[in-house]
Amino acid sequence: MSSESLQKYEFKQSLERLKDYRGHATELVSLYIPPDRKIYDVQSYLRNEASQSANIKSKSTRKNVSAAIESITSRLKMFKEPPENGVVFFVGHVSKGGNQTTMVQEVVVPPEPLPTFLYRCDSSFFTEPLEGLGETKVQFGLIVIDRSEAALGILRGATINTLKHMYSQVPSKHGKGGQSKQRFERLIEEAAHEWYKKVAHSATECFLGNNVEGILVGGPGATKDYFIKREYLNHELQKIVIDSFDTGYTDETGLRELVTRGSGRLSEMRLVKEKKLMDRFMKEVLSPKSSLAAYGKKQIDMALGMGAVDQLLISEGLEKMPNIEKGTVKQLGELAENSKAEVTIVSTESEEGVSLQKAFGGLAAILRYPIS
C-alpha cells in the first residue's frame, strides 16, 4: 500500500508541474513511446522530425526544437528497449518570465502501459494521455438478480466488465389448484433455492481472491434483498456487501443501472477509509493516557527515525504548504518504507482532510508505541 500510494502521489505531482510549463512558441516536445516500440524506430522517426524542423521560419524556435530533439536522441541511447509500461519524454525551453527561458528535460515512466506512439510539438507539454493513469482502480463486484435471470460483473475504475449472464429454470407461480397447488409452490421454492445457490457459487468463482473491495447487489423487487438476507453468498463475500439497489433489469443493462444507482456509495468509500484513520488518530490525540498520536514535521521525523510509526497520514496538499520543501513526501515515504509503516495520502476533499492540513500541518501518525 505504502509505495503504491506514494508513486501515485508523485506521478500526480509531476503531471501538475508539467502542465504549468509554457514555451514562447510551439517548441515543447512531448514524445510517448509504448512498451512494444523498437528504440531504433523511434530514433529514425526523430531524425526525420529533425530534418523537418529545419524548415521552421523563426530562428529561435528552430534552434529550440532542434535542441529538444537532440536531447531526446542522446537520452534514447541509454535504452535498449522501452521500460515495461513505456516511457514519455517532455523536453523543451520553457519561459522563465521576460525573454528568459530554461531547458526542461523530464522523463516519466507511466504507472500503466502506454497504448500508442505519439510525438507532439506545442507551446505546452501534452499531458492529457497520462491523466487518470495511476488512479487506484479499486474493483467492485456487481450482482443483479431476480428469479428468472442474473448477471455478474466487475467495476474497475469506470469500466464495467460483464463476467456471467445466467437464466434460471424456476417455473412461474401459475400452477394447478387443490392439493397439487401446495406441492407446486414447494417445488417452485426448492427451484428458487437451488437458483440462488447457483448464483452464489458463480459469485464465489468470479469474486473470491480477485481483489474485490465491495459488492453491490441489484434487481427489481424483493429477490435481491432475500438473496442477501438469507446469506446465500460465501461468508467472505457476504461481509463486503455494501448495499442493494433497485434496478429495472437483471442483464448487462442492469449492471450499468446498478453502478449508476450505487455510484454515490462507491465514491464515499475512499473518503470513509480516510475518515476511519483520521478518527483513530483524533481519538489518540484526545486520549488522557499516553497517546499514540504524533503530528507536525519535527515530531513525525523523530517517530519515523525511531521506527515508531504504524500509520503515516500525509495531506495531498502538503507540498503546497508554506515551509514545506518539494520532495518532502518522497523522503517521508522512504523513511516509512524502511520501518514498514503504512502510508495513506489523505485527499483534501473531506472535512477530515481539511483538518489534517489546517490543524496538524498536513502530517500526522498513529504510533506503535508512545514516544516522549
pLDDT in tens, 154-209: 988 667 899 999 999 888 776 555 568 888 889 999 999 999 999 999 999 999 98
Q: What is the mean pLDDT of residues 87-113?
A: 91
CATH 3.30.1330.30 intervals, the chain: 287-367
Quote the mean pLDDT of the chain: 90
Of the candidates 226, 161, 173, the one whose C-alpha atom is nearest the C-alpha of residue 200 is: 226
Please provide the CATH number assigned to the domain covering 15-130. 3.30.960.10
CATH 3.30.960.10 intervals, the chain: 15-130
| Percent residues over pLDDT 90 in the chain | 65
pLDDT for res 244: 96
Alpha-helical (H) ranges within the chain are 2-20, 39-53, 59-76, 179-207, 223-229, 235-238, 252-285, 297-305, 328-338, 351-359
pLDDT for res 132: 74
Please name the residues in contact with 173: beta carbons below 8 A apart, sequence gap of 6 or more.
Answer: 185, 188
Per-residue pLDDT reduced to its tens digit, 301-332: 999 999 999 999 999 889 888 888 888 998 99
Please name the residues in contact with 164: beta carbons below 8 A apart, sequence gap of 6 or more.
Answer: 150, 151, 152, 202, 206
How far apart, in whole angstroms, are the C-alpha atoms of residue 318 and residue 341? 19
pLDDT for res 33: 97
Scanning the structure block, which residue is given the C-alpha cell 435471470?
149
- DSSP designation for 160: E
CATH 3.30.420.60 intervals, the chain: 139-270
Please name the residues in contact with 33: beta carbons below 8 A apart, sequence gap of 6 or more.
Answer: 42, 82, 86, 87, 88, 89, 114, 117
How far apart, in whole angstroms, are the C-alpha atoms of residue 21 and residue 28? 9
pLDDT for res 134: 67
Per-residue pLDDT reduced to its tens digit, 34-72: 999 999 999 999 999 999 999 999 999 999 999 999 999
Fold of the domain built from segment(s) 287-367: 60s Ribosomal Protein L30; Chain: A; (3.30.1330)
**Residue 225 backbone phi and psi in degrees, to 5:** -75, -35
pLDDT for res 352: 85
Given a cut of 90, whether residue 126 has pLDDT beyond it is yes
Of the candidates 6, 9, 49, the one whose C-alpha atom is nearest the C-alpha of residue 30 is: 49
Strand pairing class (342-346; 293-295): unpaired
pLDDT for res 93: 94
pLDDT for res 13: 85
Of the candidates 364, 368, 351, 347, the one whose C-alpha atom is nearest the C-alpha of residue 285 is: 364
Beta bridge partners of 214: 140
Per-residue pLDDT reduced to its tens digit, 232-285: 999 999 999 999 999 999 999 999 999 999 988 887 776 777 888 999 999 999
Which top CATH class is 139-270?
Answer: alpha beta
pLDDT band at 150 (very low <50, low <70, confident <90, very high): very high
Given a cut of 70, whether residue 136 has pLDDT beyond it is no
How far apart, in whole angstroms, are the C-alpha atoms of residue 66 and residue 68? 5
pLDDT for res 217: 98
All three cell numbers of 130: 497520462
| Percent residues over pLDDT 70 in the chain | 95
How far apart, in whole angstroms, are the C-alpha atoms of residue 23 and residue 120? 13
